[in-house]
Amino acid sequence: MTTQHKHKVTSLVLAAGNGTRMKSDLPKVMHEVAGKPMVGHVLSAMNALSPERTILVIAPHMDKVRERVSTLYPGTRFAIQDQQLGTGHAVRCAREEFKGFKGTVLIVYGDTPLITPESLSKLVAVREEHNAAVALLAIHPDDPTGYGRLIMKNEPYVERIVECKDANAEEKKLRWVWGGVIAFDAEFLYEGLENLEPSPVTKEYYLTTLIEMASASGKKAVMAPMDFEESMGVNNRVQLAQAEAVIQRRLRTRFMEQGVTLMLPETVYFNSDTQIGRDVVIQPNVFFGPGAIVGDHVEIRAFTHIEGTTIENGAIIGPFARLRPGSTVGENAHVGNFVELKKTTLAKGAKANHLSYIGDTTVGEGANIGAGTITCNYDGINKYNTTIGKNAFIGSNSSLVAPVTIGEGAIIGAGSVITQNVEDHALALTRSQQVNKIGKAIELRQRKGKL
């Protein structure tokens, strides 16, 4: 994104909540949407604004969140909220992390995975335009239960926010509510948190109390409308599935716009890191796990499962193929039905078209792997590699017992069990000799009383 903002941005994400309604051993924000934790979606959206610093507020028991986020977003600072005393308290726990910072502190709740960089950028711009202490994104949902109501005499300026739990009947009818995304002037926020008092009703420290603190001291708090869908918070697994549906729809739309044909879009599942080139055709019911990179002019046929694999230009995959992590399918190579690749490289034009397991293997250019070939890469203790040379031909139903090397242009007779290396251009056979006994079938049947 290219939008330039006048002031620097610090992004702050709240994730210390327990998320009890998920009924899970995993912290809520670690639940994944399109293969990425919810908090990762929020951080990715915020990172598009190139924040000067990023702070995540977590609870003391959330080491897993810290670990995963540190790997995905190195440089993230963590603040610990040891008691759940409300959203205002959570931000206060992060105060030292933005002490002395001048600019905008952008706060998003960690369970809002659908927020887009465009809306965040708009919010920061709105605060700057109005020279406001606070800017917040507002929505008007059909059912505003649970949301803080915006009290406004002079739209778009907000006097205060009344939390749903504390609102009277009149206030409950108000149309605009806060969507959970807010931008503060850093110095105002730092000072305000110092003086924040808990709600007399619930004894919680509300972040929203800072709005009335701003207007009471003659500062501006301004609202800007946002798309309701983007504000959707995930509190249970039904909402998790709804968020997934939205992200999948966005990913499908993006790929189609980039020149990918999806024959039946709603049946294709993408990971948030999937990369696909141009003029790729994807048949129905294809699943992309993490780390799939697809080149141009590739055809991915129905019911294929792909993860951690690079597919080069012009390759044909499936139907019913399984590509596992560490694999590469070279240019114009083919991987057909019921073929599984694991940590395997197929060079340009190589083919494995039917019923095979190929693991820990390098297959040379133009080699042909016959139906039912198995690389025996595991002896129950260790894994071993197989190397198959350029233009080699592996006859059907062969077992290649690793470690083993099949030379360039070599031919393996069908049904062989290969335990020793095969030289370039050699023919290797390990089958027992065939014996044909003329007329013996008749004799056999007579003996068994069948004739």
Residues that bind ligand UD1 (CB under 6 A): 14-17, 57, 81, 84-87, 89-90, 109-111, 146-148, 161, 163, 177-180, 206-208, 233
The one segment of 5-13, 153-161, 226-234, 327-335 that binds Ca ion by CB under 5 A = 226-234
190 binds, among Ca ion, ligand UD1, none (CB under 5 to 8 A by kind): none
105 binds, among ligand UD1, Ca ion, none (CB under 5 to 8 A by kind): none
Q: Which region, judged by CB under 5 A, interacts with Ca ion, from 116-124, 182-190, 227-235, 367-375?
A: 227-235
According to CB under 5 A, which one of 144, 148, 233, 359 is a site residue for Ca ion?
A: 233
Of residues 5, 297, 305, 354, which has the active-site annotation?
354
What is the closest distance, in whole angstroms, from the C-beta atom of residue 159 to ligand UD1 in the complex? 14
How many CB atoms within 10 Å of residue 146?
Answer: 12
73 three-class SS: coil
Tell me, yes or no, if 425 is annotated catalytic.
no
Cα gap 321→379, rounded to integer Å: 25
Task: With beta carbons less than 8 A apart as the criterion, state whether 397 and 423 touch.
Answer: no
DSSP string, 348-372: TT-EEEEEEEEEEEEE-TT-EE-TT
Q: Identify the DSSP state of 383.
A: B
Question: Quick one: what does residue 177 bind among Ca ion, ligand UD1, none, with the CB cut-off 5 to 8 Å set by partner type?
Answer: ligand UD1
Find, among 329, 373, 375, the residue nearest to 355 by Cα: 373
Residue 192 CB, nearest distance to ligand UD1 (Å)? 14
Closer to ligand UD1 by CB, 166 or 299: give it.
Answer: 166
Rounded Cα gap, residues 215 and 225, in angstroms: 20
Of 130, 124, 134, 151, nearest in space to 217 by CA = 134
CB of 223 to ligand UD1, least distance (A): 12
Positive or negative, the CA dihedral 161, 164, 167, 168 is positive
Shortest distance, position 65 Cβ to Ca ion, whole Å: 17
Cβ 106 vs Cβ 127: under 8 Å? no
Minimum Å gap between C-beta 209 and ligand UD1 is 8
CB of 84 to ligand UD1, least distance (A): 4
Minimum gap (Å) between residue 19 Cβ and ligand UD1: 7
Question: Total binding residues for Ca ion by CB under 5 A?
Answer: 1
Residue 196 binding result from ligand UD1, Ca ion, none, given CB thresholds of 5 to 8 Å by partner type: none
Closer residue to ligand UD1 (CB): 85 or 414 = 85
Q: Nearer to ligand UD1 by C-beta: 109 or 288?
A: 109
CA distance 157 to 80: 33
Alpha-carbon distance of 397 to 360, in angstroms, equals 18
Q: Which two tokens stand for residue 143?
A: 């059912």
Phi then psi dihedrals of residue 243, to 5 deg = -65, -40
Q: Which stretch binds Ca ion (CB under 5 A): 76-84, 184-192, 225-233, 326-334?
A: 225-233
Stretch that binds Ca ion, among 86-94, 219-227, 231-239, 296-304 (CB under 5 A): 231-239
- CB of 373 closer than 8 Å to CB of 358: yes
Q: Which is nearer to ligand UD1, 225 or 290 (CB)?
A: 225
Of 242, 222, 217, 218, which Cα lies nearest the Cα of 232?
242
Cα(307)–Cα(427) distance, integer angstroms:
35
**Region near Ca ion per CB under 5 A, out of 117-125, 184-192, 228-236, 345-353:** 228-236
Based on the shown chain and the rule CB under 5 A, indicate whether residue 330 belongs to the binding site for Ca ion: no
- Count other C-beta atoms under 10 Å from residue 290's C-beta: 16
Which CB sits closer to Ca ion, 86 or 233?
233
Of the pair 64, 354, the CB lying nearest ligand UD1 is at 64
Q: Which does 85 bind (CB under 5 to 8 A by kind): Ca ion, ligand UD1, none?
A: ligand UD1
**Ramachandran region, residue 285 (left: φ > 0; alpha: ψ -120 to 50; beta: rest):** left
CA 75 to chain centre: 20
Q: Which is nearer to Ca ion, 156 or 233 (CB)?
A: 233
Q: Which residues bind Ca ion (CB under 5 A)?
A: 233
| Residues tagged active-site | 354
